[in-house]
Chains A and B, each alone.
Chain A
Amino acid sequence: MIALLIRDLRLAVRAGGGFGLGLSFFLIVVVLVPFGVGPESGLLSTIAPGILWLGALLACLLSLDRILALDWEDGSLDLLATAPLPMEAIVSIKSLAHWITTGLPLVLAAPVLGLLLNLPDAGYGPLVLSLLIGTPALSVIGTFGAALTVGLKRGGLLLSLLVLPLYVPTLIFGAEMARRSIEGMDATPPLLMLAGITCGTIALLPFASAAVLRVNLR
Chain B
Amino acid sequence: MGSIWEYANPKKFIATTDKVLPWVSLLALVALVGGLVWGFFFTPDDYKQGSTVKIIYLHVPSALMAINVWIMMLVASLIWIVRRHHVSALAAKAAAPIGATMTLIALITGAIWGQPMWGTWWEWDPRLTSFLILFLFYLGYMALWSAIENDDTAADLTSILCLVGSVFALLSRYAVNFWNQGLHQGASLSMDKEENVADVFYYPLLLSIAGFILLFIALVFLRTQTEIRARRMRALLARERMS
In the bound complex, do residue A158 and residue B178 qualify as a contact, i.e. CB atoms below 8 Å apart?
no
Q: B117 contacts the other chain (Cβ, under 8 Å)? A: no
In the bound complex, do residue A161 and residue B143 qualify as a contact, i.e. CB atoms below 8 Å apart?
yes
Shortest CB–CB separation between residue B171 and chain A, in angstroms? 4
In the bound complex, residues from chain B placing their C-beta under 8 Å from that of A115 are: none
CB-contact partner of A169 in B137, B144, B148, B168, under 8 A? B168
| CA of A149 to CA of B2, assembled, Å | 40
Q: A43 contacts the other chain (Cβ, under 8 Å)? A: no
Q: B211 contacts the other chain (Cβ, under 8 Å)? A: no
Contacting B at CB under 8 A, from A197-218, are 197, 205, 208, 211-212, 215-216, 218
- Count how many chain B residues have C-beta atoms less than 8 Å from C-beta atoms of the other chain: 27
In the bound complex, residues from chain B placing their C-beta under 8 Å from that of A205 are: 164
In the bound complex, do residue A179 and residue B148 qualify as a contact, i.e. CB atoms below 8 Å apart?
no
Shortest CB–CB separation between residue A84 and chain B, in angstroms? 24
Q: Is the interface of B mostly helix, strand, loop or mixed?
A: helix
In the bound complex, residues from chain A placing their C-beta under 8 Å from that of B176 are: 168, 172
**Contacts A152-B147, A165-B168, A165-B172 given; does A215 touch B136 at CB 8 Å:** no
Interface size class of chain A, counting residues whose CB lies under 8 Å from the partner chain: 20 to 34
**Contacts A169-B171, A173-B175 given; does A162 touch B144 at CB 8 Å:** yes
Binary flags per residue of B152-178, CB closer than 8 Å to A gives 1, else 0: 010011001101110011011011101
| CA of A162 to CA of B163, assembled, Å | 13
In the bound complex, do residue B148 and residue A151 qualify as a contact, i.e. CB atoms below 8 Å apart?
yes
Contacting A at CB under 8 A, from B134-156, are 136-137, 139-140, 143-144, 147-148, 153, 156
**Contacts A180-B182, A218-B153 given; does A165 touch B137 at CB 8 Å:** yes
Closest to A189 in B: B178
In the bound complex, residues from chain A placing their C-beta under 8 Å from that of B160 are: 148, 208, 211-212, 215
In the bound complex, do residue B165 and residue A179 qualify as a contact, i.e. CB atoms below 8 Å apart?
no
Q: A166 contacts the other chain (Cβ, under 8 Å)? A: yes
> 30 interchain pairs (CB within 8 A)?
A148-B144, A148-B157, A148-B160, A158-B140, A158-B144, A161-B140, A165-B133, A165-B137, A165-B140, A166-B168, A168-B133, A168-B172, A169-B168, A169-B174, A172-B175, A172-B176, A176-B178, A179-B182, A185-B182, A190-B178, A193-B175, A193-B178, A197-B171, A208-B163, A212-B156, A212-B157, A212-B160, A215-B156, A215-B157, A216-B153
